[in-house]
A and B are shown apart, each in its own frame.
Chain A
Amino acid sequence: MAKHAIKLTVNGAPREASVESRLLLVHLLREGFRLTGTHIGCDTTHCGACTVLLDGVPVKSCTVLAVQADGREVRTVEGLEKDGKLDPIQEGFMQEHGLQCGYCTPGMMMTGRALLDRSPAPSEDEIRHAISGNLCRCTGYVNIVKAVQHAAGKREGA
């Protein structure tokens, strides 16, 4: 099985890797690039803990091959903070207590970030719809919705 030389952009920086065909994107990120902020939860496309942005669109990175990301742009939770300043979505989760155990949080924040990029002032319904592929088992959806709303408000005020 031949290896594939791939080039992609991860959190704004060009990266290269030699990958096996069957390598999943989440494993390339965590083990290849040591970006362990992206979590592996169910590994069966259900939970959304592994959500990253692929060309700006949230996807479950346990169900994407690393070779499919060749030539594309990946953004992970590590790419949210800029120059020591938290992204509004991170501020929102901190201020509104949008997490308890934290396992779903990177995925929730990436989905939230993508929603706000597309729809800067989403309704509660839109937020709940957007995060319906991300599971939180601490039952923290109320505060997660508030966290996204907090981030939307901050952005509007900025």
Chain B
Amino acid sequence: MIPPPFDYHSPKTLPEALELLGRLGEDAKILSGGQSLLPLLKLRLAQPAHLVDIGRIPGLDYINEEGGFLRIGALVRESALESSALVRSKYPILVDTASVVADPLVRNLATVCGNLAHGDPANDHPATMLALGAEVVLTGAKGSRTVPVAEFFTGLFATALRPTEVLSEIRIPVPPAGSGGAYVKLERKVGDFATAGAAAFLVSKGGTIERAGIGLTNLGPTPVKARDAEKALAGKRATEDAFAEAGRLAAAAASPSADRRGSVEYKREMARVLTVRALRLAARRAEGR
């Protein structure tokens, strides 16, 4: 399959990219890793007149901790996140997530920021970022604004990102002592989108959960933040009973559609099971086990 014709631009700096996006507006799409965009073009699901390739802009592939946040730059590849020593030591939930995105070859090009910017509820990072309470930095020609991931996804393949902006950075609050997170994905085979997925993040003190974050993958038209389940866990001991109740509430928050991966009932049940599994693993990690 051959993509429809388009003009290709490869700006060398972020301001140059933003100038192009400002000028081309809705006729342009940003090309980064291209692992979601190129398949869309081939299938004629998108036919932009211009592609602005941000892949040659230096300095956007950083992963560091600064100002109380883990910062992930626009050009960080999934493979880089997966193998980062910092991420492996302090953010196992991100390793869980990156290592199940598509397959290793796709991960060599696909970017973490692109996984959010694409707005696909079947992508894996949105659930994790919802659980972690992350923010995204949206940069336009006139400056940057910060949007909580919980407000970023506005509809199916729709986000708060304007056509004139670049999702330039993900900011994850540095996890406090006594916290732990995990992402669990059910997939038919390597490379498939999730039948269902659940991310959980727990902050505990003396065996009591201070706060919880839960995100769900491919269980609704947008990534799902299971707020009732989060609230129910706050102030509880990290017990099987508490996790079971959270699992039921997370399943109630899901609104999956039936497809070849399963029926609505099956997927909602998987939302429950996976939420419990993610909570168990997050609790083990929070306790340093």
Contacts and interface: CB of A to CB of B under 8 A. Distances in A.
The yes or no verdict on A and B being binding partners is yes
Interface stretch (B68-76, B101-109, B125-133, B248-256): B101-109
B8 interface: yes
A132 B103 contact: yes
A44 interface: yes
Given A21-B5, A21-B8, A21-B51, A132 B191 contact: yes
B120 to A, nearest CB: 14
Q: How large is the interface on A (under 10, 10 to 19, 20 to 34, 35 or more residues)?
A: 20 to 34
B105 A65 contact: no
Interface in A24-74: 24, 27, 43-46, 48, 51, 57-60, 63-65, 67-68, 70
B7 interface: yes
A20 B6 CA distance: 9
A145 B41 CA distance: 35
B177 interface: no
B208 interface: no
B1 interface: yes
A76 interface: no
Contact of B5 (A20, A44, A45, A129): A20
A63 B38 CA distance: 6
Contacts of A129: 104
B7 A133 contact: no
Given A44-B39, A68-B53, A21 B6 contact: yes
Consensus secondary structure, chain A interface = mixed
B254 to A, nearest CB: 27
B75 to A, nearest CB: 13
Given A43-B42, A45-B39, A130-B104, A68 B34 contact: yes
Contacts of B35: 45, 63
Interface string B40-52: 0110000000010
Contacts of B42: 43-44
Nearest to B3: A22
B190 interface: yes
A133 B8 contact: no
Given A45-B35, A59-B109, A63-B109, A132 B6 contact: no
Given A22-B2, A43-B1, A65-B38, A60 B191 contact: no
B155 interface: no
Given A21-B51, A68-B55, A133-B190, A58 B7 contact: no
A45 B106 contact: yes
A1 B5 contact: yes
A57 B109 CA distance: 9
Contacts of A4: 8
Nearest to B41: A22
A88 to B, nearest CB: 21
Interface of A: 1-2, 4, 20-22, 24, 27, 43-46, 48, 51, 57-60, 63-65, 67-68, 70, 111, 129-130, 132-134
Interface of B: 1-8, 10, 31, 34-35, 38-39, 41-42, 51, 53, 55, 79, 102-106, 108-109, 190-191
